[in-house]
Amino acid sequence: MKILVPVKRVIDYNVKIRVNSEGSAVETNNVKMSMNPFDEIAVEEAVRLKEAGKAEEIIITSVGDKGSQETIRTAFAMGGDRGIHILNDSNTEPLAVAKILKYIVDKEGIDLVILGKQAIDDDSNQTGQMLAALLNWPQATFASKVEVNSSELKVTREIDGGLETLKLNLPCVITTDLRLNEPRYASLPNIMKAKKKQIIEMPISDTGVDSSPRLETLKVEEPAVRSGGRKVADVDELINVLKEEVGII
């Protein structure tokens, strides 16, 4: 089985997000970037399948600027085998990413695609679903458990109010939820080995996918500053304030 894991380079989840001075986008200059946390979970799941002897090769891919290669290397250090970097300096929307992934799936003969359920930068939660539709493959989204028995998969998903278990056949698409696994930290020797693994770089135009944006960002704003709370002496005063000042009772 050949697994494809797409990874996205996003602003590190620890960084306090700031809007740029023009108010047109989030500031990414001089900001620490990391692999989208849901994608780390996807890489980890693929590596576990390979370690369990259920997969032969893990291909890592990323669509983005030069820096995306660092993210691919991070995935290598966790256990990915080789990489495909689709170079695009501007933002690529989910549909275009899904089309690019379809191109790679067809070209490489992929059996299973594991993606993060969403990227923490735009929270779109679309690429996996779109990819499954484009490929006409079954999909199991928000996976919290994946079991593989030859060509049959049992996937547990987190849904409102409980768990749902799906059975699906390869080839298929899985998107990961937070509780699927706890990604490993790359060991130093594996970081060193990752440097020798191969990344093929390809300009986005070579995929034949039209990546021109279909959405226009009008404005990006910081959330309104929370105004401070205030202490009241007792319940009577509270009720009074809610009545007289806030006017909600």
Partner 1 sequence: MDFSLSNEQNDLLNSLNNTIHDYDDNYWLHCDNTSKYPIEFVNTIAEGGWLGIAMPTEFGGSNLGVTEAALMMMLISEKGGMTAASSIHMNIFGPSSIVKFGTKEQKERWLPNIISGKTKMCFAVTEPDTGLDTTRLKTKAERNENYYLINGRKIWTSTAQITNKIMIIARTSKRENGNPTNGLSLFYTDFNRDSIEARIINKMGRAAVDTNELFIDDLKAPIEDIIGEEGKGFSYLIHSLNPERILVAAEAYGIAKNALERAVNYANERSVFDRLIGKNQSIQHPLAEAWAKLESVKLLILKAANLYDNNKSCGVEANAAKFLAAEYGMEICKQAIATHGGMGYAKEYHVERLFREMMIPYLAPVSQQLVLSYIAEKALGLPKSY
Q: What residues make contact with partner 1 under the rule CB under 8 A?
A: 34, 70, 73-74, 77, 185-192, 195
Q: Which is nearer to partner 1, 134 or 191 (CB)?
A: 191
Residue that the structure tokens 């369990």 belong to: 52
DSSP percent split of the chain into helix, strand, coil, nearest 5:
30, 30, 45
CB 57 within 8 A of CB 79: no
Separation of alpha carbons 28 and 152, rounded Å: 42
246 three-class SS:
helix
We find the least distance from the C-beta atom of residue 191 to partner 1, in angstroms, to be 6
We find the least distance from the C-beta atom of residue 69 to partner 1, in angstroms, to be 9
Which pair of structure tokens corresponds to residue 204? 């986005």
Count of alpha carbons within 13 angstroms of residue 76, beta-carbon side? 23
Count of alpha carbons within 13 angstroms of residue 166, beta-carbon side? 18
Q: Which is nearer to partner 1, 76 or 137 (CB)?
A: 76
We find the least distance from the C-beta atom of residue 42 to partner 1, in angstroms, to be 17
Q: Which is nearer to partner 1, 73 or 102 (CB)?
A: 73
Which pair of structure tokens corresponds to residue 62? 């990323």
We find the least distance from the C-beta atom of residue 188 to partner 1, in angstroms, to be 4
Q: Which is nearer to partner 1, 77 or 100 (CB)?
A: 77
We find the least distance from the C-beta atom of residue 45 to partner 1, in angstroms, to be 18
Q: Which is nearer to partner 1, 94 or 116 (CB)?
A: 116
